[in-house]
Amino acid sequence: MSDAMNNPANSLLVQDARTAKRNAAEKRFRFFGIAAIATGLVFLVILLTAIFSNGTGAFQQTFLTVPVHLDETKLDKAGNRDIEDIKKVSTFGYNPLIQQAVFDMVQAQGIETPFTKRGDMKALISASAAAQLRDEVIANPDLIGQTIEFRVLATSRVDGYLKGRVTRESVERDKNIDAEHFDLVDGLRDAGIVKKSFNWDFITGADASESRPEQAGMGVAMVGSFFMMLVVLLCALPIGVAASIYLEEFAPQNRWTDLIEVNISNLAAVPSIVFGILGLAVFIQFAHLPQSAPLVGGLVLTLMTLPTIIISTRASLKAVPPSIRDAALGVGASKMQSVFHHVLPLAMPGILTGTIIGLAQALGETAPLLLIGMVGYIASDMPDGFLGGFLDPNSAMPAQIYEWAKRADPAYYERAWGGIIILLMFLMTMNIIAVILRRRFERRW
Amino acid sequence: MNDMRIVRKDVDMNDTKISAKGVQVFYGDTHAIKDVDVEIRDKTVTAFIGPSGCGKSTFLRCLNRMNDTIDICRVEGNILLDGEDIYDKRVDPVQLRAKVGMVFQRPNPFPKSIYDNIAYGPRIHGLAKNKADLDEIVEKALRRGAIWDEVKDRLDAPGTGLSGGQQQRLCIARAVATEPEVLLMDEPCSALDPIATLQVEELIDELRENFSVVIVTHSMQQAARVSQKTAFFHLGNLVEYGDTEQIFTNPQDERTESYITGRIG
């Protein structure tokens, strides 16, 4: 006691050199840990800010709301509302009607403009507007002869002007539109004719040609991705789980199973484009499955996802305490009963986690799709029914984003970011479903 | 060791239930059990004692072929249950384990309700024709497991929510629910406190009326308290086998004497 008082080296109140050193090391490590997490968070914030600041614009689209007179003499010369006759009128028949409507509106609003012909309005109106109006008339021929309020899709330049992407200076050398058109747009905007509104077509629509970014949407690619994920889930989950259960619970431990094990781990590290070329050779050239089909894409992604699912399933089977297996065998359950009644339910949450990681990987994969023709394909229509979803040529979300990102028009750049937002939302939905399922299966032991 | 209580009980000289002859067990290259001969009698509690790693648990697991689940384990010799070789090629270990139940060292209830824990065995063996039958089996098993009064109001509660001692009695009830003829217990009390141990020991004594019980234990006092026959294992050999009273009061072998007096082990 008195020794400790006299000799500070023995006192508990004074840190000795060793303890101080150890504490300093711990402090350093904690600092590094916090720094690492902070760095990660900063990058996440930068990433999300970039995505949302660049991409939210794609969810807004500019429309001109004008009354369009559907002239009977132009659209239905015979006047008998025969649907076949109406279909014969192409979009060339509708364009003048829309241009006239916009021109009349400009005149009515008394906006000062050097433009004197209705044809000058073309720069404001998307080439898709006529097609949309035609679809509407074909769906409801009774509209002919009436004047209807129609939301005319504006061109991407006008859209860009309202979003601040396009300026008067930037269009000086643009053949499609002049600075004077923007004076018109200003006038129409002040009158409430030109407005941005939520762009459902971006979420539900199909891709468009290079010159019409205002019409392009993610919908069809989303359906393509959905059907691919369905194929992956239906193939990879049962095959992966069955393989893991066999390897983990039934297979004898010998050189063969070791070899299989090593190869499965190796497969997980194979570059995805290799699976793509395998898919091209086996599924398309050998098995003659249709090109660009989500079925083929799904099968290729299944090959890619299988190792992930097998590895995680085996890990979660291994994590089930052996006492549970003993307990089941001890009351006279067969091997299979003990696996399916007791081990598998306990491993289920882990299996689901592995599956969702595999699916998420597959969802974002672009490289293998390059080789089976799902990149660059412009799917302009929704697939035909459920079976068509598997077999009709389609694209996938990441392929669509890649496609947009490489197009020249800056309006597509915005859409690529918007596409990423949709992709992330899709992924989040999948994850939420997995979390809910996991909650259901999770059991304490 | 002087305060060791020995419960004097008459050993029923019933028929032999399990008869092992020349049993050898190898784990890979390790010779774990060396030439063991033992006769286990019906409606008797037989205790296997010995220091850690002496092979008593290994030998116990041979009796219902639980060692089959270990790839590198190899069993030689004959083990006869009611005169039939349980290692015969025609014997399905699953069928055998329905006759020879097992209770493990750590309580290992299924992560299911108490009811389902007991009902699982009878269900897979098709012992119950209907729900009422099954209810009856569950109640009977829980009563035999001396746990009925504690859980009868919460049969739907998870079995894993019980205390350690209750879990172990639940596992014993689960083992007896399939109406086995032999009950193997691998250190059933090693994870329990003294009170729970006492309850399980009383239970073992009651189970003797219906089953042949083989219990592996570390505790010599426990062997002395619950068993009528005791086998002493040392380094894979069965050193001595006889009436419990004789083993503890008048051991024939020097090693047995050293062990029970605490000089080795």
Interstrand relation of A60-69 and A147-153 (parallel, antiparallel or unpaired): antiparallel
Number of structural domains (chain A) is 3
Q: Is B72:B66 a contact under the CB 8 Å cutoff?
A: no
How far does B108 lie from chain A, in Å, by closest CA?
Answer: 6
Residues A179 and A288 in one domain: no
Confidence of residue B79 (pLDDT cuts 50, 70, 90): very high
* Domain boundary residue, one of A164, A182, A206: A206
CA distances to A93, A128, A197, A426 from A122, rounded to whole Å, are 14, 12, 21, 37
pLDDT number for residue B195: 86
**CB contact (8 A) between residue A332 and residue B175:** no
pLDDT number for residue A8: 60
pLDDT number for residue A328: 93
Residues A46 and A157 in one domain: no
Instruction: State the CATH number of the domain containing residue A230.
Output: 1.10.3720.10
**CB contact (8 A) between residue A323 and residue B69:** no
pLDDT number for residue B15: 77
A35 in a domain, yes or no? yes
How far does B178 lie from chain A, in Å, by closest CA?
Answer: 7
Alpha-carbon distance A154 to A121, whole Å?
A: 11
Hey, which residues 153-172 in chain B have their CB within 8 Å of chain A? 158, 160, 171
Q: Which residue of A has its CA nearest to B120?
A: A331
A213 in a domain, yes or no? no
A212 in a domain, yes or no? no
How far does A51 lie from chain B, in Å, by closest CA?
Answer: 45
Alpha-carbon distance A56 to A416, whole Å?
A: 11
Residues A193 and A258 in one domain: no
Alpha-carbon distance A177 to A411, whole Å?
A: 15
pLDDT number for residue B13: 47
Q: Which tokens is B228 given?
A: 């009528």
A331 in a domain, yes or no? yes
Per-residue b/e over B172-194, b at no fewer than 16 CB within 10 Å? bbbbbbbbbbbbbbbbbbebbee
User: Smallest Cα–Cα separation from A341: which of B186, B151, B129, B119?
Assistant: B119
pLDDT number for residue B1: 41
Residues B248, B254, B260: CA angle, nearest 5 degrees: 35
B contact test, residue of A331, A338, A339, A343 with most B CBs within 10 A: A331
Residues A285 and A422 in one domain: yes
Residues A192 and A341 in one domain: no
Average pLDDT value over all residues in chain B: 87
pLDDT number for residue B6: 46
**CB contact (8 A) between residue A252 and residue B71:** yes
Alpha-carbon distance B84 to B79, whole Å?
A: 8
A211 in a domain, yes or no? no
Domains and CATH numbers, chain B: 16-260 (3.40.50.300)
- Which region among A264-273, B1-10, B23-32, B222-231 has the lowest average model confidence (pLDDT)? B1-10
Q: Which residue of B has its CA nearest to A345?
A: B111
Residues A200 and A259 in one domain: no
Alpha-carbon distance A293 to A300, whole Å?
A: 11
Residues A46 and A73 in one domain: no
A192 in a domain, yes or no? yes
pLDDT number for residue A338: 93
A contact test, residue of B68, B116, B124 with most A CBs within 10 A: B124
Consecutive sets of 10 residues in chain A, 445 residues long: mean pLDDT of each?
A: 57 87 96 97 96 90 90 82 84 89 88 84 88 89 88 90 87 84 88 89 87 88 93 95 93 89 91 92 92 91 94 94 91 91 91 91 90 76 82 89 89 92 93 87 62
pLDDT at B8 over 60: no
Q: Is A373:A289 a contact under the CB 8 Å cutoff?
A: no
Contacts of B158 in chain A (CB under 8 A): 444
Alpha-carbon distance A90 to A97, whole Å?
A: 12
Residues A104 and A225 in one domain: no
Q: List the single residue in B66, B108, B111 with the smallest CB-CB distance to A444.
A: B111
Any chain A CB within 8 A of the CB of B242? no
Interstrand relation of B229-234 and B237-243 (parallel, antiparallel or unpaired): antiparallel
Ramachandran region of residue A395, left (φ > 0), alpha (ψ -120 to 50) or beta?
A: beta
Could you tell me the maximum CA-CA distance found in chain B, to the nearest angstrom?
Answer: 57
**CB contact (8 A) between residue B106 and residue A341:** no
Residues A86 and A231 in one domain: no
* Domain boundary residue, one of A206, A240, A266: A206
Interstrand relation of B212-216 and B182-186 (parallel, antiparallel or unpaired): parallel
Residues A96 and A122 in one domain: yes
A388 in a domain, yes or no? yes
* Domain boundary residue, one of A40, A55, A70: A55
Instruction: Pinpoint the alpha helices (H) of B74-130.
Output: 93-99, 114-125
Interstrand relation of B212-216 and A60-69 (parallel, antiparallel or unpaired): unpaired
pLDDT number for residue A6: 58
A313 in a domain, yes or no? yes
**CB contact (8 A) between residue B110 and residue A342:** yes
**CB contact (8 A) between residue B108 and residue A324:** yes
How far does B16 lie from chain A, in Å, by closest CA?
Answer: 23
A5 or B75, which is more confident? B75
Residues A355 and A254 in one domain: yes
Contacts of B71 in chain A (CB under 8 A): 252-253
Structural domain harbouring A343 = 219-441
If you compute the radius of gyration of chain B from its CA atoms, what whole number of angstroms results? 18
Any chain A CB within 8 A of the CB of B102? yes
How far does B230 lie from chain A, in Å, by closest CA?
Answer: 24
Residues A68 and A40 in one domain: no
B253 or B6, which is more confident? B253
How far does A241 lie from chain B, in Å, by closest CA?
Answer: 21
Per-residue b/e over A36-45, b at no fewer than 16 CB within 10 Å? eeeeeeeeee
Q: List the single residue in A332, A342, A346 with the smallest CB-CB distance to B97.
A: A332
The mean per-residue pLDDT over the stretch B242-264 comes to 87
Question: What does residue B76 show for φ and ψ, rounded to 5 degrees?
Answer: -120, 165
